[in-house]
Amino acid sequence: MSISTQTNGAADLKTLQAERDQLREELDKVKSERDAYLKSLYYFLRKEAPPPDFTKEELMACVGKEPPLEDVIAELEREMRSGA
């Protein structure tokens, strides 16, 4: 291997490492922004959502019984759309 090939290889490696480091920094920044947005979203969802009107015992009594989860979700969606 010639000296120029080794020099170019080392330069290419340094360039790739610098690019990798820059991309990692950008990724960290985007992750921080995402976390801030999610935190805000969760805050407003909790603030706007009505408190549940069932107890843990009532919920646990329904485990393994009808209706299927899909029906419960559909009913909740209908209630949310109707404003009930």
**pLDDT per residue over 19-73, tens digit each?**
999 999 999 999 999 999 999 988 888 877 777 788 888 888 878 777 788 888 8
pLDDT at 9: 80
Residue given tokens 């989860």 in the structure block:
69
pLDDT at 21: 97
The domain total for the chain is 1
The end-to-end CA distance of the chain, in Å, is: 76
For 50, the domain range is: 3-82
pLDDT at 63: 80
pLDDT at 84: 55
pLDDT at 1 over 60: no
User: Rounded CA gap, 65 and 45, in Å?
Assistant: 29
Give this prediction's pTM. Answer: 0.46
